[in-house]
Amino acid sequence: MITFSTKGTCSKQIIFDLDAEHKIRNLKFIGGCSGNLQGIARLVEGRTPDEVYPLLRGIKCRQNTSCPDQLALALEPYLTANAS
């Protein structure tokens, strides 16, 4: 289980797993707008960080970030292009 503490959003944490195929599983946001965040979780389920990151990075809501943007930041360490 991976836990990411958000900054500048209504949600406080993002929790998810990456399976053996490097796909996002069991994504949950702690706090925030429940319906919207459940929708995001369903849309990214089974996708890789490489697929999700460019779709969500840079989306703005408050304080020059958003819950989707924070998810992209949480995925940055797991991008295969940046993996060593």
Q: Give the pLDDT of the chain (84 residues) as one tens digit per residue.
A: 999 999 999 999 999 999 999 999 999 999 999 999 999 999 999 999 999 999 999 999 989 999 999 999 999 999 985 554
Query: Range of 19's domain?
Result: 2-78
Q: How many domains does the chain contain in total?
A: 1
> Is 52 inside a domain boundary?
yes
Question: In the structure encoding, which two tokens stand for residue 31, read together?
Answer: 């706090």
End-to-end CA distance of the chain: 21
> Is 18 inside a domain boundary?
yes
What pTM was estimated for this model as a whole? 0.93
